[in-house]
């Protein structure tokens, strides 16, 4: 059974810092890995999707990497801003549509 | 609308009542998913539709839960004889196809069972 773990569970950083969020998964037989953002009381916003054949994806200040063989992904956020404060969720698609981690709650302090 | 729409946004009901949750996916999206988000449990998969059929119902927690989709569009999730442990946020997502397309989520229905 696929399990997804995200570390750290919570993170607080000053504005302007670069930061890395970590995601690991136990079964490397995945189709893709997706990073989401969730604001309080809202649904999920898709940030980046990495296909299993890809190593990384970039969108603006966000860069996500995937090492399928070791079961790891990282989300790099450059020059963090208070508006980046949210919960970030990692999810993998395999034999079930998506299996989610429990998220990293990020606070960026002005 | 442009995004996935869910209704109601909030639902409070008494234990034992039936509830029906609705999801309007993005137009043209053939795949539709239901998830449940509970405090401390994270997001768990319930059921997914490809068109009107549900190839994967493995996440439905009990036979009190059912879902249908009609016309390849709107879906309803029904919970019969609600229990307090059913309290959660129920999220719906849709995508162009299965597997390798990003899923787009609605804002969810917050269900509270008294």
| Identity of the residue in B33, B42, B99 whose CB atom sits nearest the CB atom of A31 | B99
Give pLDDT tens digits for A22-48.
999 999 999 999 999 999 888 899 999
- Name the percent of chain A lying above pLDDT 70: 98
Instruction: Measure the CA–CA gap between B40 and B60, rounded to whole angstroms.
Output: 18
Q: Is A99 within 8 Å of A3 (Cβ atoms)?
A: yes
Which has more pLDDT, B83 or A95? B83
How far off is chain B from A92, nearest CA to CA, in Å?
A: 10
Instruction: Compute how many other C-beta atoms are within 10 angstroms of the C-beta atom of residue A106.
Output: 21
Query: If pLDDT is split at 50, 70 and 90, which confidence band does B105 have?
Result: very high
Coil vs helix vs strand at B84: helix
Instruction: Measure the CA–CA gap between B107 and B42, rounded to whole angstroms.
Output: 16
β-pairing verdict for B104-105 and B53-56: unpaired
Give pLDDT tens digits for A54-75.
999 999 999 999 999 999 999 9
Kindly identify which residue of chain B lies nearest to residue A102, measuring between CA atoms.
Answer: B42
Q: What is the mean pLDDT of chain A?
A: 94
Q: Which residues of A touch B59 (CB under 8 A)?
A: 96
| Identity of the residue in B4, B58, B106 whose CB atom sits nearest the CB atom of A96 | B58
The answer to whether B100 contacts chain A (CB < 8 Å) is yes
The answer to whether A5 contacts chain B (CB < 8 Å) is no
The answer to whether A101 contacts chain B (CB < 8 Å) is yes
Per-residue pLDDT at B1: 53
Instruction: Measure the CA–CA gap between B99 and A93, rounded to whole angstroms.
Output: 6
C-alpha distances in Å from residue B2, one per residue of A33, A44, B27, B32, B104: 24, 15, 8, 15, 11
């Amino acid at each position: 059974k696929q399990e997804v773990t995200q570390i750290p569970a919570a993170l607080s950083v000053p504005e302007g810092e670069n930061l890395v969020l970590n995601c690991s998964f136990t079964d490397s037989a995945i189709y893709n890995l997706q990073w989401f953002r969730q604001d309080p009381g809202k649904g999920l916003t898709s940030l980046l999707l990495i296909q299993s054949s890809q190593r990384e994806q970039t969108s603006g200040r966000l860069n996500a990497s995937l090492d399928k063989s070791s079961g790891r992904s990282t989300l790099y956020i450059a020059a963090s801003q208070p508006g980046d404060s949210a919960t970030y969720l990692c999810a993998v698609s395999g034999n079930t549509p998506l299996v989610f981690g429990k998220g990293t709650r990020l606070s960026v302090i002005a | 609308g442009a995004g996935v729409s869910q209704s109601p946004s909030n639902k409070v009901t008494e234990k034992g009542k039936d509830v029906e949750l609705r999801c309007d996916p993005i137009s043209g999206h053939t795949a539709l998913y239901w998830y449940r988000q509970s405090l401390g449990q994270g997001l768990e998969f319930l059921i997914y539709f490809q068109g009107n059929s549900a190839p994967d119902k493995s996440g439905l927690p009990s036979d009190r839960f059912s879902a249908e989709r009609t016309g390849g569009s709107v879906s309803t999730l029904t919970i019969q004889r609600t229990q307090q442990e059913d309290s959660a946020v129920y999220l719906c997502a849709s995508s162009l196809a299965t597997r390798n397309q990003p899923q787009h989520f609605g804002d969810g229905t917050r269900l509270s069972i008294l």
